């Protein structure tokens, strides 16, 4: 059935490239020739869903119809994630970063941004570690944002099937999740620490003063220019003394940035030091 429909679609190269450029211009997501088949198959999926058989007609619809670009962007994102992904980052968070910030933050407010949070496993993992680490006199504010509306809806729900809770330490599972049958819900104590928001990293932001930013396995999908723009934006939204975590396969190497590279706890991350913290 799928095959039959796909064969009916009139797919010309010029329009395909126009759509690819539009995706890139609006989100920074870069489909190279190597991953062209992924974009082609997701586009065909969308065409089938709305019963179009010509990519040209779809392009005209895309540039006219408000909201279609958001739907398309949602469809072309890769939302793969899991709880406590790259465990070393969480070890560094607990054993170094939080200890350091605890000693420095006199206002006892900790602001964290999980940018590209997908279905919520990353911000919930961060919330569990920070809640466990700080006494209740500390205020923890986590912003979790993504360009995928469907992922954000799942994240907000905080519902996970048994196969998806792999990686959560047993004590956290017992303390911060409720099991109903074979499924699990995030408890309100953790949920209330997080604000989920739609945000395209290609757009300017009014967010500010983050002590920690997690943006892992997101910039890998961007072209070089968008990677630099995103990292610069993080720098500007972060507090004078703060930390940045990016994915294991991502790097700031070769970028014009003031972030300081840190290697500890068997992993790598970055630090911003400005103002009175410079030189310390």
Ligand X SMILES: C[S@@+](CC[C@H](N)C(=O)[O-])C[C@H]1O[C@@H](n2cnc3c(N)ncnc32)[C@H](O)[C@@H]1O
By CB neighbour count within 10 A (0-12 exposed, 13-18 middle, 19+ buried), where does 186 fall?
A: buried
The count of residues interacting with ligand X (CB under 6 A) is 24
Q: Which of 193, 29, 206 is nearest to 120 (CA)?
A: 193
Comparison of 15 and 148: residue with beta carbon closer to ligand X: 148
Query: Is 19 a binder of ligand X (CB under 6 A)?
Result: no
Q: Where do we find the tokens 């119809």?
A: 65
Closest CA to 16 of 222, 47, 158, 83: 47
Q: Is 29 in the site for ligand X (CB under 6 A)?
A: yes
- Minimum gap (Å) between residue 107 Cβ and ligand X: 27
* Neighbour-count burial of 192, counting CB atoms closer than 10 A to its CB (0-12 exposed, 13-18 middle, 19+ buried): exposed
Question: Can you spell out the DSSP letters for 247-280?
Answer: -TT---TTS---PEEEEETTEEEEEEE-GGGTT-
**Contact range with ligand X by CB under 6 A, out of 114-122, 170-178, 181-189, 253-261:** 114-122
Q: Does 151 bind ligand X (CB under 6 A)?
A: yes
- By CB under 6 A, tell whether 233 contacts ligand X: no
- Answer for which of 16, 31, 127, 146 binds ligand X (CB under 6 A) is 146
Cβ 196 to ligand X, closest distance in Å? 12
Residue 125 token pair? 């993992």
Of 202, 227, 233, 242, the one binding ligand X (CB under 6 A) is: 202
Least Å distance, CB 145 to ligand X, is: 6
13-41 burial, b if ≥16 CB within 10 A, otherwise e? eebbebbbebbbebbbbbbeeeeeeebbe
| By CB under 6 A, residue 79 contacts ligand X | yes
| 87 vs 21: CA distance, rounded Å | 36
Residue 272 as a binder of ligand X (CB under 6 A): the answer is no
* Contact with ligand X (CB under 6 A) among 221, 243, 245, 270: 221
Task: Please pick, from the candidates 16, 31, 90, 116, the single residue that binds ligand X as defined by CB under 6 A.
Answer: 116
Q: Does 227 bind ligand X (CB under 6 A)?
A: no
Confirm or reject binding of residue 85 to ligand X (CB under 6 A): yes
Does residue 77 touch ligand X according to CB under 6 A?
A: yes
Q: Which stretch binds ligand X (CB under 6 A): 44-52, 95-103, 147-155, 261-269?
A: 147-155
DSSP code for 92: H
Please answer whether residues 121 and 85 qualify as being in contact, where contact means their C-beta atoms are separated by less than 8 angstroms: yes
- 148 interacts with ligand X by CB under 6 A: yes
Is the CB of residue 81 less than 8 Å from the CB of residue 122? Answer: yes
- By CB under 6 A, name the one of 19, 39, 111, 122 that touches ligand X: 122
**Residue of 73, 67, 114, 107 lying closest to 210 (CA atoms):** 114
Residue ranges binding ligand X (CB under 6 A): 27-29, 77-81, 85, 116, 118, 122, 146-148, 151, 200-202, 216-218, 221, 247
């Amino acid at each position: 059935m799928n095959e039959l429909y796909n064969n009916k679609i009139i797919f010309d190269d010029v329009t395909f490239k126009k759509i690819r450029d539009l995706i890139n211009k609006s989100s920074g997501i870069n489909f190279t020739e190597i991953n062209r088949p992924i974009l082609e198959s997701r586009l065909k999926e969308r065409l089938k869903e709305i019963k179009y058989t010509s990519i040209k007609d779809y392009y005209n619809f895309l540039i006219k119809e408000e909201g279609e670009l958001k739907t398309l962007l949602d469809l072309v994102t890769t939302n793969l994630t899991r709880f406590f992904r790259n465990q070393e980052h969480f070890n560094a968070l607990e054993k170094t970063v939080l200890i350091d910030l605890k000693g420095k933050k006199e206002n006892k407010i900790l602001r964290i941004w999980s940018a590209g949070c997908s279905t919520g496993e990353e911000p919930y993992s961060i919330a569990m570690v920070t809640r466990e680490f700080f006494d209740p006199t500390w205020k923890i504010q986590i912003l979790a944002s993504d360009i995928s509306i469907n992922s954000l809806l799942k994240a907000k729900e905080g519902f996970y099937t048994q196969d998806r809770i792999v990686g959560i330490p047993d004590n956290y599972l017992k303390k911060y999740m409720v099991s109903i049958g074979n499924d699990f819900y995030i408890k309100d104590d953790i949920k209330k620490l997080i604000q989920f928001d739609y945000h395209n990293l290609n757009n300017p932001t009014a967010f500010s003063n983050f002590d920690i930013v997690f943006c892992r396995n997101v910039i890998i999908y961007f072209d070089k220019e968008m990677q630099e723009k995103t990292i610069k934006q993080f720098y500007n939204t972060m507090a004078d003394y703060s930390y940045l975590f990016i994915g294991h396969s991502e790097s700031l190497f070769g970028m014009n940035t003031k972030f300081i590279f840190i290697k500890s706890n068997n992993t790598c991350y970055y630090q911003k030091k400005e103002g009175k913290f410079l030189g310390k």
